[in-house]
Amino acid sequence: MRFLTTCFLMALGVAPLCQASPKTAAPVQAKNAMEACDQFSQADIRDCLFKQAAGSAALLKNAEAETVAAIGKWDEDEGYVTAARAKLKQANTVFARYRDAQCGFATSLAGGAAGNSHEISRLSCVADLNTQRAERLMSDAKSLVPR
Protein backbone atom coordinates (compact mmCIF):
# COMPACT_ATOMS: atom_id res chain seq x y z
CA MET A 1 0.00 0.00 0.00
CA ARG A 2 2.84 2.36 0.85
CA PHE A 3 4.33 1.65 -2.60
CA LEU A 4 1.09 2.62 -4.39
CA THR A 5 0.81 5.79 -2.33
CA THR A 6 4.40 6.73 -3.20
CA CYS A 7 3.79 6.11 -6.91
CA PHE A 8 0.58 8.16 -6.80
CA LEU A 9 2.30 11.09 -5.10
CA MET A 10 5.19 10.96 -7.57
CA ALA A 11 2.73 11.00 -10.46
CA LEU A 12 1.01 14.03 -8.97
CA GLY A 13 4.37 15.77 -8.66
CA VAL A 14 5.22 15.12 -12.32
CA ALA A 15 1.78 16.12 -13.65
CA PRO A 16 2.44 19.89 -13.54
CA LEU A 17 5.65 19.34 -15.53
CA CYS A 18 3.72 17.56 -18.25
CA GLN A 19 1.19 20.39 -18.43
CA ALA A 20 3.86 23.08 -18.51
CA SER A 21 5.07 22.14 -22.00
CA PRO A 22 4.46 24.97 -24.47
CA LYS A 23 1.51 24.53 -26.80
CA THR A 24 2.21 24.77 -30.48
CA ALA A 25 0.49 27.60 -32.26
CA ALA A 26 -2.00 26.76 -34.95
CA PRO A 27 -0.58 27.29 -38.45
CA VAL A 28 -1.52 30.60 -40.01
CA GLN A 29 -3.77 30.09 -42.99
CA ALA A 30 -3.15 32.14 -46.10
CA LYS A 31 -6.06 34.25 -47.23
CA ASN A 32 -8.14 32.25 -49.68
CA ALA A 33 -9.60 33.58 -52.91
CA MET A 34 -13.12 34.05 -51.54
CA GLU A 35 -11.84 36.05 -48.57
CA ALA A 36 -9.95 38.30 -50.98
CA CYS A 37 -13.11 39.01 -52.97
CA ASP A 38 -15.95 38.91 -50.45
CA GLN A 39 -16.24 42.68 -50.02
CA PHE A 40 -17.82 43.07 -53.48
CA SER A 41 -21.32 42.53 -54.88
CA GLN A 42 -22.07 39.07 -56.29
CA ALA A 43 -21.28 40.08 -59.89
CA ASP A 44 -18.09 41.78 -58.79
CA ILE A 45 -17.14 38.78 -56.65
CA ARG A 46 -17.34 36.64 -59.78
CA ASP A 47 -15.08 39.05 -61.68
CA CYS A 48 -12.63 39.22 -58.77
CA LEU A 49 -12.53 35.42 -58.51
CA PHE A 50 -12.04 35.13 -62.26
CA LYS A 51 -8.93 37.31 -61.87
CA GLN A 52 -7.84 35.27 -58.84
CA ALA A 53 -8.21 32.02 -60.81
CA ALA A 54 -6.32 33.43 -63.80
CA GLY A 55 -3.55 34.71 -61.54
CA SER A 56 -3.31 31.37 -59.75
CA ALA A 57 -3.10 29.57 -63.11
CA ALA A 58 -0.17 31.79 -64.10
CA LEU A 59 1.43 31.22 -60.68
CA LEU A 60 1.01 27.45 -61.10
CA LYS A 61 2.47 27.49 -64.61
CA ASN A 62 5.46 29.46 -63.33
CA ALA A 63 5.92 27.09 -60.38
CA GLU A 64 5.83 24.09 -62.72
CA ALA A 65 8.49 25.69 -64.95
CA GLU A 66 10.66 26.57 -61.94
CA THR A 67 10.35 23.02 -60.65
CA VAL A 68 11.39 21.58 -64.02
CA ALA A 69 14.38 23.94 -64.04
CA ALA A 70 15.32 23.01 -60.45
CA ILE A 71 15.13 19.31 -61.30
CA GLY A 72 17.40 19.97 -64.30
CA LYS A 73 19.99 21.58 -62.02
CA TRP A 74 19.57 19.00 -59.25
CA ASP A 75 22.80 17.47 -57.95
CA GLU A 76 21.67 13.88 -58.37
CA ASP A 77 22.28 10.94 -60.70
CA GLU A 78 20.67 11.38 -64.13
CA GLY A 79 18.39 8.40 -63.56
CA TYR A 80 16.79 10.13 -60.57
CA VAL A 81 16.53 13.41 -62.47
CA THR A 82 14.77 11.66 -65.36
CA ALA A 83 12.42 9.84 -62.96
CA ALA A 84 11.61 13.09 -61.13
CA ARG A 85 10.77 14.84 -64.41
CA ALA A 86 8.46 11.99 -65.43
CA LYS A 87 6.78 11.91 -62.01
CA LEU A 88 6.27 15.70 -62.08
CA LYS A 89 4.64 15.46 -65.51
CA GLN A 90 2.39 12.67 -64.25
CA ALA A 91 1.56 14.58 -61.04
CA ASN A 92 0.66 17.69 -63.04
CA THR A 93 -1.77 15.70 -65.18
CA VAL A 94 -3.35 13.99 -62.19
CA PHE A 95 -3.57 17.30 -60.30
CA ALA A 96 -5.51 18.89 -63.18
CA ARG A 97 -7.99 15.99 -63.14
CA TYR A 98 -8.25 16.17 -59.33
CA ARG A 99 -8.82 19.95 -59.44
CA ASP A 100 -11.61 19.55 -62.01
CA ALA A 101 -13.29 16.81 -59.99
CA GLN A 102 -12.88 18.53 -56.63
CA CYS A 103 -14.11 21.87 -57.92
CA GLY A 104 -17.04 20.13 -59.63
CA PHE A 105 -17.94 18.68 -56.25
CA ALA A 106 -17.52 22.06 -54.52
CA THR A 107 -19.74 23.64 -57.15
CA SER A 108 -22.41 21.00 -56.63
CA LEU A 109 -22.61 22.02 -52.98
CA ALA A 110 -24.15 25.33 -54.09
CA GLY A 111 -27.26 23.27 -54.84
CA GLY A 112 -30.08 25.34 -56.30
CA ALA A 113 -28.41 28.65 -55.58
CA ALA A 114 -29.22 31.42 -58.01
CA GLY A 115 -27.12 33.91 -59.90
CA ASN A 116 -23.39 33.49 -60.06
CA SER A 117 -23.18 31.18 -57.05
CA HIS A 118 -22.06 28.08 -58.95
CA GLU A 119 -19.39 29.93 -60.92
CA ILE A 120 -18.24 31.76 -57.79
CA SER A 121 -17.82 28.44 -56.01
CA ARG A 122 -15.92 26.91 -58.94
CA LEU A 123 -13.58 29.86 -59.43
CA SER A 124 -12.81 30.10 -55.72
CA CYS A 125 -11.96 26.40 -55.63
CA VAL A 126 -9.77 26.61 -58.75
CA ALA A 127 -7.87 29.63 -57.44
CA ASP A 128 -7.27 28.05 -54.03
CA LEU A 129 -6.16 24.66 -55.35
CA ASN A 130 -3.87 26.20 -57.97
CA THR A 131 -2.26 28.41 -55.34
CA GLN A 132 -1.78 25.50 -52.93
CA ARG A 133 -0.24 23.36 -55.66
CA ALA A 134 2.07 26.19 -56.76
CA GLU A 135 3.25 26.74 -53.18
CA ARG A 136 3.96 23.03 -52.81
CA LEU A 137 5.91 22.86 -56.06
CA MET A 138 7.98 25.92 -55.15
CA SER A 139 8.74 24.42 -51.75
CA ASP A 140 9.79 21.14 -53.36
CA ALA A 141 11.96 22.95 -55.91
CA LYS A 142 13.73 24.94 -53.19
CA SER A 143 14.58 21.73 -51.35
CA LEU A 144 16.63 20.38 -54.28
CA VAL A 145 20.37 20.90 -53.92
CA PRO A 146 21.76 22.27 -57.20
CA ARG A 147 24.98 21.07 -58.81
Q: What is the pLDDT of residue 12?
A: 43
- 12 in a domain, yes or no? no
Indicate whether 26 pLDDT > 90.
Answer: no
Q: Per the structure, how many domains does the chain have?
A: 1
Q: Residue 111 gets which letter from DSSP?
A: T
- 25 in a domain, yes or no? no
What is the C-alpha separation between 68 and 62, in angstroms, rounded? 10
Indicate whether 15 pLDDT > 70.
Answer: no
- The model's pLDDT over 103-143, given as tens digits with 9 standing for 90+, comes to 999 999 999 988 789 999 999 999 999 999 999 999 999 99
- 52 in a domain, yes or no? yes
How much of the chain, in percent, has pLDDT values that exceed 70?
79
What is the C-alpha separation between 94 and 100, in angstroms, rounded? 10
* Domain assignment of residue 138, given as a range: 32-142
Indicate whether 24 pLDDT > 60.
Answer: no
Indicate whether 50 pLDDT > 70.
Answer: yes
- 81 in a domain, yes or no? yes
- 134 in a domain, yes or no? yes
- 123 in a domain, yes or no? yes
For the domain that residue 136 is a member of, what is the CATH number? 1.20.1270.180
Cα 28 from chain centre: 12
- The model's pLDDT over 83-109, given as tens digits with 9 standing for 90+, comes to 999 999 999 999 999 999 999 999 999
Q: What is the mean pLDDT of residues 70-88?
A: 97
- 45 in a domain, yes or no? yes
How much of the chain, in percent, has pLDDT values that exceed 90?
68
Question: Across-strand partners of 146?
Answer: 74
Answer for the pair 43, 116: CB distance below 8 angstroms, yes or no.
Answer: yes
- 21 in a domain, yes or no? no
Cα-based distances in Å from 92 to 22, 61, 65, 72, 137: 39, 10, 11, 17, 10
